[in-house]
A = this chain, B = another copy of it.
Amino acid sequence: MLICSSLDEVKRREAAFRFIATTVNHEGRSSLYDLSGLAGGFPVKKSDLPFLETYSGPAIFELSLQKEGKKHLGGEKVAAFNRTSAAILATILALVKHGEEVLHYLPELPSHPSIPRSAKLQGASYAEFDNIGDFQLSEKTSLVVITGSTMDHQVIPLDDFEKIIQISHKKQIPVLVDDASGARIRTVIYNQPRALDMGADLVVTSTDKLMNGPRAGLMAGKTELINQIKDKSHQFGLEAQPPIVAGIVRALEAFNPQKLLNSMDRRDKLSIMVGNVLSGVKKTPTGFMISASNLKKEIIPHELDGSLSDRECATLMAMVLLKEHHIITIPALGMPGVSTTIRFDLSAADAENLDDTQIVHAIKDSIKRVREM
């Protein structure tokens, strides 16, 4: 086994960082193609930098955060967190007590690990569902989480969304929508309403997902709840720091839904071309993806099945794409336990610097190389 624990994944991630640093130093930033869809931007202006050095700068950006955050997500009040996972931890610590229960409804199991982990840390029980028929509150339920769109961009049906909110509110249980990517995918691509406009009490989104912002969690919702969650976040150091808040503000100001829509045309064309190279290529809202299990089928002869895990296959493929073709995808650089699906995001800024045949060639060549290993 190549990957036995999350420690091995920390090492894999560090190796990828070292490669990127060397490449950028020798060949410049333009020699890399970040198609991860997570190439978080930090679009602060040079003229913002001096402000970030005063006690007052953050306060000024905080006012813009309220304005731009509410424009993006709706709600009464906004708060920014170091990561969406940190926002979820702060929420569970603030709203759920030891011995209570978190229920989680999502389009497709399993959940992002941050939700069950935070519940466990707080000593709360946790259950997750992707079938509306199974969803049932108990006496202990004190928080309901809805995932708007999964890591693989599966989107929740609007009917289910409404039903979960209705069921929860009948018992006065607050609903948090984990709309990490959903705050844009659901609304821009699927024309669904914003989570708070659907009646949710809280929503959190990742400002690096399908928008050019820093990796951070932006939450909006009811003032009273946001205040409780902010308080917890300050206790454990979970809130976004001033430079990150400035980055979020500038990214929200620059956000343009039309760019997301444009990348869909290219996706349709390119996913057919890649489909000729390997089977099981799936479209995503703004690109295409190859699941680890499909990749494995393509790479490993049936009689050798078991010699490599899905995760190992995806990691190898992503590392070859990085080292041989300078294409950055999530399994090469993601945190331990990251999704093993290799996604090519055509809404990423760097996607404009590669043409379709280059992308197809890189995938074809990388499969060949992984097979040879």
* Chain A residues within 8 Å of B, Cβ to Cβ: 6-7, 10, 13-14, 16-21, 24-25, 28-29, 32, 34, 36, 38-44, 46, 49-60, 62-63, 81-87, 89, 93, 113-114, 117-118, 121-123, 208, 214-217, 227-228, 230-231, 234-239, 241-244, 247, 328, 330, 333, 335-337, 349
Taking the nearest CB of chain B, how far is it from the CB of A323, in angstroms?
A: 13
Q: In the assembly, what is the distance between CA of A240 and CA of B67, in Å?
A: 25
Q: Nearest CB to that of A64 among chain B residues?
A: B21
Q: In the assembly, what is the distance between CA of A231 and CA of B215, in Å?
A: 17
Q: Are B336 and A42 in contact (CB under 8 A)?
A: no
Q: In the assembly, what is the distance between CA of A93 and CA of B40, in Å?
A: 27
Task: Kindly report how many copies of this chain are found in the complex they form together.
Answer: 2
Q: Are B93 and A86 in contact (CB under 8 A)?
A: no
Q: Are B236 and A20 in contact (CB under 8 A)?
A: no
Q: Are B236 and A216 in contact (CB under 8 A)?
A: no
Contacts of A7 in B (CB 8 A): 227-228, 231
Q: In the assembly, what is the distance between CA of A59 and CA of B215, in Å?
A: 15
Q: Nearest CB to that of A216 among chain B residues?
A: B241
Q: A21: which of B53, B59, B231 is its contact (CB, 8 Å)?
A: B59
Given A49-B44, A82-B86 in contact, is the A208-B59 Cβ separation under 8 Å? no
Q: List 6 A-B contacts (CB under 8 A).
A: A7-B227, A24-B59, A42-B243, A54-B328, A121-B236, A231-B336
Q: Nearest CB to that of A42 among chain B residues?
A: B52
Q: Nearest CB to that of A348 among chain B residues?
A: B55
Contacts of A16 in B (CB 8 A): 56, 59
Q: Nearest CB to that of A93 among chain B residues?
A: B121
Q: Are A20 and B121 in contact (CB under 8 A)?
A: no
Contacts of A82 in B (CB 8 A): 82, 86, 237-239, 241
Q: Are A328 and B227 in contact (CB under 8 A)?
A: no
Q: In the assembly, what is the distance between CA of A62 and CA of B39, in Å?
A: 15
Q: Which of A20, A44, A87 has the most CB of B within 10 A?
A: A20
Q: Are A85 and B237 in contact (CB under 8 A)?
A: yes
Q: In the assembly, what is the distance between CA of A228 and CA of B228, in Å?
A: 30
Q: Are A243 and B227 in contact (CB under 8 A)?
A: no
Q: In the assembly, what is the distance between CA of A231 and CA of B14, in Å?
A: 12
Q: Are B236 and A89 in contact (CB under 8 A)?
A: yes
Q: In the assembly, what is the distance between CA of A204 and CA of B59, in Å?
A: 27
Q: In the assembly, what is the distance between CA of A82 and CA of B336, in Å?
A: 18
Given A231-B10, A236-B89, A237-B82 in contact, is the A59-B333 Cβ separation under 8 Å? yes
Q: Which 9 A-B pairs have the closest CB atoms?
A: A83-B237, A40-B54, A86-B237, A29-B50, A85-B237, A20-B59, A42-B52, A17-B59, A21-B59
